[in-house]
Chains A and B, each alone.
Chain A
Amino acid sequence: MNWTLLVHQIRTLLRPGRLVGLLLLTVVPAVILLIVGLTEGAETGFVAEAAGGIGSTTFPIAALILAAATLRDERDGGTLPYIYLKPINRASLASTSILAAVASTGLLGVVAALSLTGAAAVIGAGVGEAVGSIPLYLAASVGYSALFVPLGYLLPRVVLAGLAYVILWEQVVARLVPGVANTSIWRFALSIYVDLVDTAEDLAEGLGPMAAGVWGGVAKIAVVALLGTGLLTWALRRRDAV
């Protein structure tokens, strides 16, 4: 890992203009929880539904936009040579880029979880369920970063491809075809949350054939992280950088 590159990439990713929009997207589950809670009252499991249900659309989109930009912005903006033509081995460049995306999307995840915690406290609902969403969002940050940073390097229209994955594949196809759930990063992360939070059992249906479990979810996310780092290292070595 290269510390200078990591700091540079995080600073570039978290530029105020982009960050404000993504933070607004990230706190949507908390806002909905607050509105529904204040108007209809808090029901059991609703905090978990906001975190793992509504968040299953808003957070992956935010993570996609941020992670895909890590190297894609540098390529499109013509600044990649300033990073690429440096004595940084390609595996280190790949792992640092993914780590920068994890840190940035992880920050959004923490904000999502804390905003849910705040909303849950206001409406008097399960604060523990909201705090429990921190590992859900952090695991999702790792998985989506490992997927979208390499794809951002390789594909010019990565956001379109990413939206197809997080909306069509994860939200539609994975619901209709049970086996497809095993290719869903969100479900890997959700399996951790369902295991940690008792009231999240309604969300367990969405896991399809996948069993809930902290270590199983962590292992799957770790495999995605390794594969993503490997793919990006290969791409940096074998593909044209500009």
Chain B
Amino acid sequence: MTSPEQPSTIQLSELSKWFGAKVAVSDVTLGIGPGVTGLLGPNGAGKTTLLRLITGLQRPSSGQVRVLGSDPREDVDLFRRLGMVPEDESVYPHLTARQFVRLNAGLMGVPDLEGATERSLVTVELTGAADRPLAGFSKGMRQRAKVAAALVADPEILILDEPLNGADPVQRASLIRLFVGLGGEGRTVVVSSHVLAEVERMATRLVAMVDGRLAAVGTVSQLREAMTDRPRLVRVDADRPRELAARLMETDGVDGIRLHQDTIDIESSDAVGLARTLPRLAHETGIGLRRVEPTDESLESVFRYLVDKR
């Protein structure tokens, strides 16, 4: 995750966390350096737990967390350099956005409370609504208030747990620009999401998780490549499935076929080739294709494949 000249600001070593019999994070070893790192995975993959372990909100069951060389469970001074946007929507409903950001500045020990608060509100474009109670804010506006609170002490490390949840497209674009900018300034920004397209827009490096384990670590293009290489399962609803299956067995790139009543499941390691072959075969044989659909395109299945591959 980090290049040789860029030391890790966050270092996780054999990190695990379990709750009773449930393993939330399993044996994660990872270094994260400056820039925007996307933490990607389906719901329940362990992203939130991993971020909580990084910030010290939760204690590892085993393994070690080091942030800027310190253990976040032991060194509270580390929090002068770290900001977090938690996944929870909760904020103090009775406070205005300005009071909320100022409270965070005060708790951080920021010397220029008013100045820092104002700058933070300007950064997230919330000055117009700054004096309204948070109770009346939309989900997206609350997210921006939370980001402003996390930024108020100008942290070197920013941990953002699903920060785009509930934000409208304009707010999303604006927050993504902000995170990219912060990463560009040399800060370590870790953003979690279950939406690949979203993370791709801001992160240069990705960490994919599933079932608490690391599924893939690398640049966006490396992850894309790994995902493209995996075998795909395609279900075809055809009027003469047996004949189509026989013809397909003679085709390169088809690794296996399962015949059902009216459909066939094709396992292929060359999805692009299959997409060209199928219509050609149908045309040549006069077999009618009623439906062609991938059956395992969810992000979760992609990540499961990557975990098995590791």
Contact of B76 among A15, A90, A238 (CB under 8 A): A90
Known: A4-B106, A4-B107, A89-B76. A84 touches B57 (CB 8 A): yes
A12 proximity list for chain B (CB < 8 A): 92, 94
Interface string of A59-93 (1 = CB under 8 A from B): 00000000000000000011101111111111000
Interface string of B42-67 (1 = CB under 8 A from A): 00000000001001111100000000
Once bound together, how far apart are the Cα atoms of A82 and B104, in whole Å?
A: 7
Contacting residues of chain B (66-105) with chain A, CB-CB under 8 angstroms: 73, 76-80, 82, 84, 86, 88-92, 94, 103-104
Known: A78-B89, A79-B90, A87-B108. A240 touches B59 (CB 8 A): yes
Contact of A86 among B59, B94, B107 (CB under 8 A): B107
A2 proximity list for chain B (CB < 8 A): 107
Measured between C-beta atoms, what is the minimum distance from A153 to chain B in Å? 14
Known: A8-B103, A12-B92. A85 touches B57 (CB 8 A): yes
Q: Are B109 and A87 in contact (CB under 8 A)?
A: yes
Is B141 in the interface zone, CB < 8 Å from A? Answer: no
Once bound together, how far apart are the Cα atoms of A223 and B120, in whole Å?
A: 44
- Size of the chain A interface, CB-CB below 8 angstroms: 25
Once bound together, how far apart are the Cα atoms of A45 and B76, in whole Å?
A: 53
Q: Are A242 and B57 in contact (CB under 8 A)?
A: yes
Closest to B102 in A: A4
Once bound together, how far apart are the Cα atoms of A2 and B79, in whole Å?
A: 15
Is A237 in the interface zone, CB < 8 Å from B? Answer: yes
Contacting residues of chain B (134-173) with chain A, CB-CB under 8 angstroms: 149
Q: Are B149 and A82 in contact (CB under 8 A)?
A: yes
Known: A237-B73, A242-B57. A85 touches B90 (CB 8 A): no
- Size of the chain B interface, CB-CB below 8 angstroms: 28
Closest to B100 in A: A82
Q: Are B90 and A86 in contact (CB under 8 A)?
A: no
Once bound together, how far apart are the Cα atoms of A85 and B59, in whole Å?
A: 14
Closest to B78 in A: A87
Interface centre among A81, A85, A237, A240, by most B CB within 10 Å? A85
A-B pairs with CB below 8 Å: how many?
A: 67
Is A35 in the interface zone, CB < 8 Å from B? Answer: no
Measured between C-beta atoms, what is the minimum distance from B64 to chain A in Å? 16
A239 proximity list for chain B (CB < 8 A): 59
Q: Are A78 and B90 in contact (CB under 8 A)?
A: yes
Closest to A90 in B: B76
Measured between C-beta atoms, what is the minimum distance from B115 to chain A in Å? 16
Measured between C-beta atoms, what is the minimum distance from B147 to chain A in Å? 13
Is A5 in the interface zone, CB < 8 Å from B? Answer: yes
Is A173 in the interface zone, CB < 8 Å from B? Answer: no
Q: Are A79 and B73 in contact (CB under 8 A)?
A: no
Is A241 in the interface zone, CB < 8 Å from B? Answer: yes
Once bound together, how far apart are the Cα atoms of A5 and B59, in whole Å?
A: 24
Once bound together, how far apart are the Cα atoms of A25 and B78, in whole Å?
A: 43
Q: Are B107 and A83 in contact (CB under 8 A)?
A: yes
Once bound together, how far apart are the Cα atoms of A242 and B55, in whole Å?
A: 11
Q: Are B52 and A86 in contact (CB under 8 A)?
A: no
B108 proximity list for chain A (CB < 8 A): 86-87
Once bound together, how far apart are the Cα atoms of A239 and B57, in whole Å?
A: 9
Contact of B55 among A5, A78, A85 (CB under 8 A): A85
Once bound together, how far apart are the Cα atoms of A238 and B74, in whole Å?
A: 10
Known: A4-B107, A8-B103, A15-B94. A81 touches B55 (CB 8 A): yes
Closest to A8 in B: B103
B-side residues, CB < 8 A to A, are: 52, 55-59, 73, 76-80, 82, 84, 86, 88-92, 94, 103-104, 106-109, 149
21 residue pairs of the A-B complex, CB under 8 angstroms, read A2-B107, A4-B103, A8-B107, A79-B88, A79-B90, A81-B55, A81-B88, A82-B107, A84-B57, A85-B57, A85-B84, A86-B79, A86-B107, A87-B76, A87-B77, A87-B109, A88-B76, A89-B76, A239-B59, A240-B52, A240-B59
